[in-house]
Amino acid sequence: MLKTLKGGIQACVQDFGRLGYRHLGVSQAGVLDPLAMQYANTLLHNKADSAVIEITVGLCQFAFLAETNFAITGANLGAKLNGQPLELNWRYSASAGDKLTFSSSKDGLRAYLAVQGGYHLEAVLNSHSTDIQARFGGMAGLPLKDGDTLNYTPHPPLPSVGAALPRYSQTLRVLAGPHSALSAGLFSQTWQVLPQSNRMGIRLESDKNLCHSHSIPSQAVMPGVIQLPPSGKPIILGNDCQTTGGYPIIAQVIDADLRHVSQLAAGHACSFELVTREEARVASELHAKHLAQLKIALNNNDKKYNE
């Protein structure tokens, strides 16, 4: 078992999320950085969609109650095992009684903790993700709190190995939205992330907000959509966003760059770059190639494990 000694700001269980239920008003939820989750699971020979713990800000502590192998990916939130610093994007072994701690960082916002074989959880609507707004999935729909335990199957030590996760960027590539006529000022300036941001959406402002008086009927929205309220302060919708919205949609962050949004904290700056659908497809294919290369390298490294 993994015992939560200190829950921190918002550590919660997430996988790819609930896909195919938006027409019923059910949010996707799920991990904000799918590539980081897949890297962690690949390092441990887990299924790609095995649930992980998404750690926001840090400041949390865990205790391993049985031996296992684990991996931490995403932002560097100062992870330490029994007081010894850990390298990011590496696989490590833990013994019963080992203590894992996280501090925080001004450069990144979210890290991901996976264990070999995954955590033992009940699925809700085909997902183990925590829907914090609707209060279901994960650990009773709530962030991890002090004393919570997650079960896993013990595993003997594997050799330590690491992988270079592609760097994060504060330049977000986007596709034009159906109301792109309102987006002219989106690409010519830098935007600041506001404190009123969370898993539902990232709120932005600049010296020249894109104020308008347009009103449209409610329409379907999804993670990555950039809405523009009358205030002119764009909102990048996150995985916990609503399923419909009435603000104009000026752009859509491409799938490959949603991982960058996951690391935007209050006070961070970001900018936008308009790309084509072909460029978006190529970016997603590049992530798939990175994962394929990692799997091949790990299989060669862990031949004894795979026999």
| CATH number where 268 lies | 2.40.100.10
| Judgement on whether residues 27 and 86 belong to the same structural domain of the protein | yes
| Judgement on whether residues 19 and 160 belong to the same structural domain of the protein | yes
253 vs 12, 139, 175, 219, CA distance in Å?
A: 24, 30, 6, 18
Q: What is the pLDDT along the chain (307 residues), one digit of tens a residue?
A: 999 999 999 999 999 999 999 999 999 999 999 999 999 999 999 999 999 999 999 999 999 999 999 999 999 999 999 999 999 999 999 999 999 999 999 889 999 999 999 999 999 999 999 999 999 999 999 999 999 999 999 999 999 999 889 999 999 999 999 999 999 899 999 999 999 999 999 999 999 999 999 888 999 999 999 999 999 999 999 999 999 999 999 999 999 999 999 999 999 999 999 999 999 999 999 999 999 999 998 888 787 655 4
What is the predicted pLDDT for the residue at 215?
Answer: 84
What is the predicted pLDDT for the residue at 307?
Answer: 47
CA–CA separation, 166 vs 295, rounded Å? Answer: 15
Whole domain around residue 183: which residue ranges? 171-275
What is the predicted pLDDT for the residue at 304?
Answer: 60
| Judgement on whether residues 190 and 145 belong to the same structural domain of the protein | no
| Judgement on whether residues 138 and 175 belong to the same structural domain of the protein | no
Residue 149 lies in a domain: yes
**Structural domain count of the chain:** 2
| Among candidate residues 166, 181, 198, the one where a domain is terminated | 166
pTM: 0.94
Q: Which amino acid is at 291?
A: L
| Judgement on whether residues 139 and 193 belong to the same structural domain of the protein | no
CA–CA separation, 250 vs 186, rounded Å? Answer: 9
| Judgement on whether residues 139 and 195 belong to the same structural domain of the protein | no
CA–CA separation, 302 vs 83, rounded Å? Answer: 28
| Judgement on whether residues 35 and 70 belong to the same structural domain of the protein | yes
